[in-house]
Copies of this chain bind each other. A is one copy, B any other.
Amino acid sequence: MQKLSEYKMFGGRQLRYQHESDVLDCAMRFSVYLPTAVERHPVPVLYWLSGLTCTDENFVIKAGAQQFAEKYQIALVAPDTSPRGEGVADDPDGSWDFGLGAGFYLNATQAPFDRHYQMYDYVVDELRALINRSFPVEPEKTAISGHSMGGHGALTIALKNPDIYRSVSAFSPICSPMHCPWGQKALTGYLGKDVSQWRQYDAAALIRQAKTKLPMRVDQGSADEFLVEQLKPELLWQAAADAGFELDFRMQTGYDHSYFFIASFIEEHIGFHARYLDS
């Protein structure tokens, strides 16, 4: 693991690293904010999964999250959104919603994507293990959040691993990739045409099956340009209501899909996680 940069911020440290990922079979970069308390004791850790086209840096630069990570003394980890590098397959059409920058936090089974696109295992297992052994964090106090494709990632990962993640939140998540163009394109490309394979990565489907409930908050902007066609939060509400799953959903009037929306409510999300992380 090689440190690429370090900046002091709000008293703590904003760090960026590169490491060789066995799971993804390529070099990966990630960012970590460590609050000041790590000098004295380990702290809880919140993972942030970014959306389409992002790297680990968008959240670090645009969300204004570090001040609240410092306030609540929580470490923030931001991975990249797909495998990267010379040999990594991309969408042959060069689109921005599939391939590089669009890993959808799943394990691909279809060639040529199955070699590198194993973002689910990377986030849940490999990166988490690396963080837990490399930084002063409390592994039993882990939470996850994300935006858009990363909101989908956070919801699905937490729903499948309520033993690992104490709480989950999302901004403008793709709530049911099985039922929107972004998701159908990605699920077909990474998993093939057998729809039965898609359910394991669909938050609305997973919430109906969830045996263990965990605290879940979702914020959605009402002026989001992707709301109706791609995000479909109504499918998440309905599934949560049917399953008796307590979902704290907020429709935020007039906000769009941008990081300006995220910045406006990131304090509330980190505060939400802090309650369940005892921080």
Interface residues of A (CB under 8 A from B): 7-11, 14, 61-62, 64, 66-67, 221, 223, 254-256, 258-261, 263-264, 267
Contact = CB atoms under 8 A, between A and B. Distances in A.
A61 B67 CA distance: 15
Per DSSP, are chain A's interface residues mostly helix, strand or loop, or mixed?
A: mixed
Given A8-B223, A14-B260, 13 more contacts: A7-B256, A7-B260, A8-B256, A8-B260, A8-B261, A8-B264, A10-B263, A10-B264, A62-B62, A64-B67, A66-B260, A67-B264, A67-B267
11 contacts: A7-B258, A8-B260, A9-B260, A9-B263, A61-B61, A61-B259, A62-B62, A64-B64, A64-B67, A64-B263, A67-B263
Q: How many copies does the complex hold?
A: 2
Contact of A264 (B9, B221, B254): B9
Nearest to A252: B8
A264 B264 CA distance: 17
A254 B62 contact: no
A265 B8 CA distance: 12
A223 B66 CA distance: 20
Contact of A62 (B61, B67, B223): B61
A221 B10 CA distance: 12
A232 to B, nearest CB: 21
Contacts of A255: 8
Nearest to A66: B263
A8 B264 CA distance: 9
Contacts of A9: 260-261, 263-264
